[in-house]
């Protein structure tokens, strides 16, 4: 059963390259093969989850033992994210039928494969490879719309991501020169002696900034507004909702398993706070819906970085809750932005045209801002109580910034809600007012139902998340599951 786990990476990869060939022979099969692969992937994970998934397991790829070979480390956290990737891949599948669809669908499969790899992989260099694979797939998809702006945005993003990968390579080289291994479990064992010095810290920070590019870390997220404004909303939903979380997951794994120095946490905290400030304030001035959502996702991810910076893993539950909540809400909002993407002024009075869309927008904003019964409130509550427990002034500053950011967030989100429900300007004709319709409205209402479901059964969901967080925190559990396979590798 553990062997076919590798399939969820292998099959999309295979599909990605076979699709153009299939496209030529018969359009029908080609069109449905992509979603079929994803559904099969979801089924595998669900089957594994339902068959009682207590202990995490490590899958050695190609039979090579971990210190040399690459292993997939599957604990409930990784499985959760892998399932999310398959599901969202399916939800955001580019069904539009145009001459570009073959290229888009294969790139999408590539992106899904890379993301699943990011979630499951247990080897540092393997993570780097999947990270680059995902980057290439994103460049392809982002520039698919063919407009000049898309190309310039993709190029700027490419250069940024290129520098990021240079820094990551630099970090990996440093780590390898210090410890001689790249397997995460092995590194976790060696870390206390070899990596807890300034060189180890430099390596971590280099990787942090390198991977931070995709995780929308403060200084390196200048590409976010351009890409989300020019790329198709489905792609930006996938990027904002999921890919940034996976990059975040890597940094989290590194922080938990290998680098326990307080300086690392402080750097993340400072960058997180700056991210929140810049994201929320920029969103306050945004004129278009897509750009506003882009800045708001920067702000939200800044908050998750603040949660991650809490010492000795206390923030783990907050990180998990915030990222899952943000995933659902941002995807829903982007789905609404598919039809309401343009300028906010044009949206005036469109609540009458599409009441369901407006109600969903209000529901998502309320949860994002943290109105009590909705899950957003519980995520914020967990973070707030952890932050307040700290003593150092920096954490209290983080708390204050977090609270103020929520106020700014509420004001710009509800300014949009007010224009939605406002009366349309006299001269606009009724059919000019944008209406949410079709598939995007369906998916948005799916996410809305998800939010309400989580709000209703918040108690079991909360305990489930706590269990996942506890398991992820457990470093020596990580080492023991992988180490029996290590069988006396070079200590």
Partner 1 sequence: MISAVTPELILHITAIGLIAIGLAGVVLSSHLFRMVLALVIAEAGANLMLVLAGYRWDAVAPILTSRAEPAAMVDPVPQALVLTAIVIGVGIQALAVSILIRIRQRYATLDRKEAAERMDAEIAATLGAPRDISQEAPLGERPLPPLPADQINMRGDSP
Partner 2 sequence: MMLTLLDELLLFSGATLLVALFIGRGLAAGWMVTILYGGQLLALLKMAVLGYEGGTIASSLTLEVMGQALSWRFDALSWFFALITIGSALLSSWFSCGAWERSYIRQGGNIWLFHTAMALNVFTMLILLASGDLLSLFIGWELVSWAGFLLMALAGGVAARAAMRYITYAMAGGMAIFGGLALIYTASGSLQLEAVTTAVEQMSGAKLWLLVILFGGGFGVKMGLMPFHLWQAPAYAETPGPGSAFLGAISSRMGLFAILLVLVKLFGIVKIESLKVPFTLIDARDLLAWIAVFTIILPTFTAMKQNDARHLLAWHGIGQGGYMLLGVVVADAMGGAGGLLHVFNHATYQAALFMAVTAVIYRTGTSDLNKLGGLVVRMPLSFVVLLIGIIGLAGLPPMNGFVSKWLVYRSLLNQGMPLLFLAAVIGTLGTILSVYKLIHNIFLGQLRVEHEHVSEAPWSMMIPMLILSAIIFITGLMPGIPLEWIASVLQTVGLPVPDYTLGGVESSSGSLDMIWVIGVLFAGFGVGALVFYSAGRSKRVHQLDNYAGGHFLSADVRYQYSDNFYAGLMHLIGGWYRGSFLWLERGITSLVEFLSLGMQGLYRRANAEFYLLTTALFVIAWVVI
Q: List for the chain the helix, strand, coil content (%; round to 5).
A: 80, 5, 20
Residue 488 partner contact from partner 1, partner 2, none using kind-dependent CB cut-offs of 5 to 8 Å: none
Q: Which of residues 290-309 bind partner 2 (CB under 8 A)?
A: 295
Say whether 489 sits in a helix, a strand or coil.
coil
Can you tell me which of 380, 395, 445, 447 binds partner 2, judged by CB under 8 A?
Answer: 380
Question: What distance in Å separates the CA atoms of residue 299 and residue 218, rounded to the nearest whole number?
Answer: 9
With binding defined as CB under 8 A, does residue 219 bind partner 2?
yes
Between 42 and 270, name the residue whose CB sits nearer to partner 2.
270
Q: Where are the alpha helices (DSSP H) in 143-240?
A: 148-179, 184-194, 198-212, 223-230, 233-238
85's CB contacts (< 8 A; 6+ apart) are 112, 115, 116, 119, 242, 246
Q: Which of residues 169-198 bind partner 1 (CB under 8 A)?
A: 169-170, 172-174, 176-177, 180, 182
Q: Which of residues 200-239 bind partner 1 (CB under 8 A)?
A: 226, 229-230
How many whole angstroms separate alpha carbon 423 and alpha carbon 349? 5
CB atoms within 10 A of CB 426: 5
Q: Specify whether the CB–CB gap between 16 and 113 falls below 8 A.
A: yes
Note whether 400 binds partner 2 by CB under 8 A.
Answer: yes
Tell me which stretch binds partner 2 (CB under 8 A): 46-54, 140-148, 187-195, 401-409.
Answer: 401-409
Residue 325 makes contact with partner 1 by CB under 8 A: no
- The dihedral built from the CA positions of residue 180, 182, 188 and 194, taken in this order, carries a sign that is positive
For residue 449, the minimal CB distance to partner 1 (Å) is 29
In the complex with partner 1, the residue whose CB is nearer, 174 or 387, is 174
Residues 336, 338, 343, 348: is their CA dihedral positive or negative?
negative
3-state class (DSSP) for residue 21:
helix
User: Quick check: 59 binds partner 2 (CB under 8 A)?
Assistant: no
Which of partner 2, partner 1, none does 422 bind, CB closer than 5 to 8 A by kind?
partner 2
Cβ 146 to partner 2 shortest distance, Å:
23
Nearer to partner 2, 46 or 199 (CB): 199
How near is the Cβ of 9 to partner 2 at its closest, in Å?
Answer: 30
Handedness of CA 106, 128, 254, 139 (dihedral sign): negative
Which DSSP string corresponds to 100-124?
Answer: THHHHHHHHHHHHHHHHHHHHB-BH
Residue 18 burial by Cβ neighbours in a 10 Å radius (0-12, 13-18, 19+): middle
C-beta of 69: minimal distance to partner 2 in Å? 32
Query: According to the binding rule CB under 8 A, does residue 284 interact with partner 2?
Result: yes
Q: Tell me which of 125, 284, 381, 414 binds partner 1, using CB under 8 A.
A: 125
Q: Is residue 70 within the footprint of partner 2 (CB under 8 A)?
A: no
Q: Is 436 a binder of partner 1 (CB under 8 A)?
A: no
What is the C-alpha separation between 103 and 141, in angstroms, rounded? 8
| Nearest to 215, CA basis, from 336, 131, 111 | 131
Which of 338-375 are b and which e, b meaning 16 or more Cβ less than 10 Å from the residue's Cβ?
A: bbbbeebebbbbbbebbeebbebbbbbbbbbbbeeebb
With 0-12 CB in 10 A as exposed, 13-18 as middle and 19+ as buried, what is 66?
A: buried
The residue (of 392 and 476) whose beta carbon lies closer to partner 2 is: 392
Q: Is 184 helix (H, G, I), strand (E, B) or coil?
A: helix
Report the distance separating Cα 142 and Cα 153, nearest Å.
Answer: 8
Residue 458 binds what, of partner 2, partner 1, none (CB under 5 to 8 Å, by partner type)? partner 2
When asked if residue 382 is in the footprint of partner 2 (CB under 8 A), the reply is yes
Binding residue (CB under 8 A) for partner 1 from 10, 18, 132, 471:
132
Among 29, 173, 418, 453, binds partner 2 (CB under 8 A): 418
Bridge partners, 343 (sequence order): 288
**Least separation, in Å, of the C-beta of 410 and partner 2?**
4
**Closest separation in Å from C-beta 140 to partner 2:** 20
Q: Which does 389 bind (CB under 5 to 8 A by kind): partner 1, partner 2, none?
A: partner 2
- In degrees, rounded to 5, the angle at the alpha carbon of residue 226 between the alpha carbons of residues 224 and 231 is 95
Which does residue 176 bind out of partner 1, partner 2, none, counting CB within 5 to 8 angstroms by kind?
A: partner 1
**Would you count residue 343 as binding partner 2 (CB under 8 A)?**
no
String of contacts with partner 1 for each residue 271-300, x by CB under 8 A:
--------------x-xx-xx---------
Contact footprint for partner 1 (CB under 8 A): 68, 125, 128-129, 132, 135-136, 139-140, 143, 147-149, 151-156, 158-159, 161-163, 165-166, 169-170, 172-174, 176-177, 180, 182, 226, 229-230, 285, 287-288, 290-291, 341-346
Contact footprint for partner 2 (CB under 8 A): 156, 159-160, 163-164, 167, 198, 201-202, 205-206, 209, 213, 219-220, 222-225, 263, 267, 271, 277-278, 281-286, 295, 366, 369-373, 377-378, 380-382, 384-385, 387-389, 399-400, 403-404, 406-408, 410-411, 414-415, 418, 421-423, 458-459, 462, 466
């Amino acid at each position: 059963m553990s062997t076919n786990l590798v399939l969820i990476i292998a099959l999309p990869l295979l599909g990605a390259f076979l699709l153009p060939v299939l496209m030529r022979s018969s359009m029908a099969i080609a069109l449905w093969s992509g979603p079929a692969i994803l559904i099969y992937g979801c089924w595998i994970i669900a089957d594994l989850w339902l068959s009682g998934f207590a202990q995490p397991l490590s899958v050695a790829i190609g039979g090579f033992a971990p210190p040399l070979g690459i292993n997939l480390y599957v604990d409930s956290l990784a499985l959760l994210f892998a399932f999310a990737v398959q599901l969202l891949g399916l939800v955001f599948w580019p069904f539009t039928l145009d001459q570009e669809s073959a290229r888009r669908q294969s790139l999408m499969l590539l992106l899904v494969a890379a993301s699943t790899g990011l979630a499951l992989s247990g080897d540092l260099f393997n993570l780097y490879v999947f990270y680059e694979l995902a980057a290439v797939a994103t460049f392809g998809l982002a520039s698919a719309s063919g407009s000049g702006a898309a190309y310039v945005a993709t190029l700027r993003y490419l250069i940024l991501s290129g520098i990021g990968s240079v820094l990551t390579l630099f970090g990996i080289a440093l780590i390898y020169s210090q410890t001689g291994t790249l397997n995460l479990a092995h590194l976790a064992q060696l870390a206390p002696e070899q990596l807890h010095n300034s060189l180890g810290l430099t390596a971590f920070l280099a990787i942090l900034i390198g991977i931070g590019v995709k995780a929308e870390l403060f200084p390196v997220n200048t590409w976010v507004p351009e890409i989300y404004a020019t790329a198709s909303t489905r792609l930006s939903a996938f990027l904002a909702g999921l890919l940034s979380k996976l990059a975040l997951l890597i940094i989290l794994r590194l922080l938990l398993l290998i680098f326990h120095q307080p300086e690392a946490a402080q750097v993340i905290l400072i960058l997180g706070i700056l991210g929140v400030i810049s994201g929320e304030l920029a969103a306050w001035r945004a004129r278009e819906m897509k750009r506003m959502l882009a800045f708001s996702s920067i702000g939200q991810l800044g908050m998750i970085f603040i949660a991650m910076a809490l010492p000795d893993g206390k923030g783990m539950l907050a990180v998990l809750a915030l990222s899952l909540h943000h995933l659902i809400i941002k995807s829903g909002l982007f789905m609404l932005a598919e039809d309401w993407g343009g300028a906010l002024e044009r949206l005036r009075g469109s609540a009458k045209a599409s009441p369901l869309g407006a109600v969903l927008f209000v529901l998502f904003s309320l949860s994002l801002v943290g109105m009590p019964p909705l899950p957003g409130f519980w995520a914020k509550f967990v973070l707030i109580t952890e932050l307040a427990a700290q003593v150092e002034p920096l954490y209290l500053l983080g708390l204050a910034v977090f609270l103020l950011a929520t106020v700014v967030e509420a004001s710009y989100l509800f300014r949009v809600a007010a224009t939605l429900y406002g009366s349309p300007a006299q001269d606009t004709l009724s059919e000019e007012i944008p209406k949410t319709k079709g598939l995007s409205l369906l998916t948005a209402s799916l996410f809305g139902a998800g939010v309400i479901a989580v709000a209703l059964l918040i108690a079991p969901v909360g305990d489930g998340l706590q269990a996942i967080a506890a398991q992820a925190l457990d470093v020596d559990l990580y080492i023991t599951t992988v180490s029996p396979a290590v069988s006396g590798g070079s200590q």
